Amino acid sequence: MNNSDKIYTLAVAGVQRLIPYKAGKPIEELERELGLTQIIKLASNENPLGPGKKALEAIASALPELALYPDGSGFLLKQALADKYAVDDSQITLGNGSNEILELVARAFLTPEHEAVFSQHAFAVYPIVTQAVGATAVVVPALNYGHDLDAMLLAITEKTRLVFIANPNNPTGTLLSQDSLAQFIEALPDTCVCVLDEAYFEFVNDVEAINSIAWLKDHPNLLITRTFSKAYGLAGLRIGYGLSSPQMSDILNRVRQPFNNNSLALVAALAALSDDEHLQQTITVNAQGMQQLVDGFKVLGLEWVPSAGNFVLVDLKQAGLPIYEALLRKGVIVRPVGVYELPNHLRISIGTKIENQLFLKALTDSLADVR
């Protein structure tokens, strides 16, 4: 060990074992590397339509106020969310992306003596926030790429303080039924907090059937997280929120930094909430794009995991990384999912019609190259 590396031995044990989160390759980086100009990125489940007009206008109007600290309570945004979901504003916690809510709940509830339960192939941030506070991650084998709720219940002990469930799940796109989730939450001991990560719920076909908010009344240990990063097209601004009991929200607010949400994010999110046209267009483009990709996979004889989100996991029946690299050389960025224990799959975010078309052509060529 050289002298500079000794610092690793001082880090919290869980941090020493962490594999850093690998984000989708930025377009600029690939441009620099390959000198390409026509690059499409279908790697991070971003909104291919971009932000809505209303959000952009709100950002422009707020620019002159940038010298001032943002409203640390996020009053207006919380009120709008409270109206939208018919909850009290004391039940809302705003985060710097919903990722921050995941971090806050881990910091508030986990210690090195505690465990967090989540599924194999679940979101990569769950192990990060768990191990960062020195707690133990308990990973339950997936069932048909999704959460095995019965097995997860069995994995819960008196040491378990958190259980993370993503619905729909990323990167697999699997969706649990509302009935099975309701039963799970009912069966959960009240010593365990359930984090229900609904980052993609706006894309669910039967979105009216999603009634998790109704469960909050009887379950002070339930925390629902949602975000403006996906359907609302504001990933770059970093804003998300938690819905919970007022008590849970009070706890999260105790560990939150006072100005965790920047002023542009606050006004943009508020405006985005009222931009139903952009949201509906986003959902329509996504549904059409999903069909387009699935049809393309059929032609190529590939299988995929049916997805309720704005991305789809395709099974290449061969190592995904060489295909990922071949796609990169053609200027198409997708997401390899080897770190999710899915070495033969790639995750493709749904793009615009043109982007999907270019991707399918590049995939066809890449499969021929690598064979």
Ligand X SMILES: *Cc1c(COP(=O)(O)O)cnc(C)c1O
Rule CB under 6 A: which residues touch ligand X?
45, 97-99, 123, 166, 170, 197, 199, 227, 229-230, 235, 240
* 235 or 290: CB nearest ligand X: 235
Please state the closest distance from residue 20 (CB atom) to ligand X, in A.
16
What DSSP letter does each residue of 308-362 carry, written as one string?
Answer: SSSEEEEE-SS-HHHHHHHHHHTTEE-EE-GGGT-TTEEEEE---HHHHHHHHHH
Residue number, 171 or 320, with CB nearest to ligand X: 171
Q: Least distance (Å) from ligand X to the CB of residue 198? A: 8
Which CB sits closer to ligand X, 304 or 340? 340
Cα–Cα distance, 336 to 338 (Å, whole number): 6
Of residues 330 and 340, the one with the C-beta less far from ligand X: 340
Smallest distance from the beta carbon of 1 to ligand X, in angstroms?
35
Q: Which lies closer to ligand X via its Cβ, residue 219 or residue 230? A: 230
C-alpha pair distances (Å), 66 with each of 71, 106, 355: 12, 31, 35
Nearest approach, Cβ of residue 3 and ligand X (Å): 36
CA angle (166 as vertex; 165, 170 as ends), nearest 5 = 140
The minimum distance between CB 324 and ligand X, in angstroms, equals 19
Task: Yes or no: say if 117 and 163 are a contact pair by the CB < 8 Å rule.
Answer: yes
Question: For the CA atoms of 371, 305, 342, 160, what is the dihedral angle to 10 degrees?
Answer: 180
Q: What is the end-to-end Cα distance of the chain in Å, rounded?
A: 41
Give the integer Cα–Cα distance in Å for 328 and 310. 21
Q: How far apart are CA 282 and CA 176, in angstroms?
A: 23
Which residue, 44 or 366, is less far from ligand X as judged by CB?
44
Nearest residue to ligand X, scored by beta-carbon proximity: 97
Q: To the nearest whole angstrom, how small is the minimum distance from the Cβ of residue 210 to ligand X?
A: 15
Nearer to ligand X by Cβ, of 142 and 360: the residue is 142
Residue 238 tokens, joined: 């970093």
Cβ at position 301, least distance to ligand X in Å: 28
Please name the residues in contact with 270: beta carbons below 8 A apart, sequence gap of 6 or more: 58, 76, 77, 80
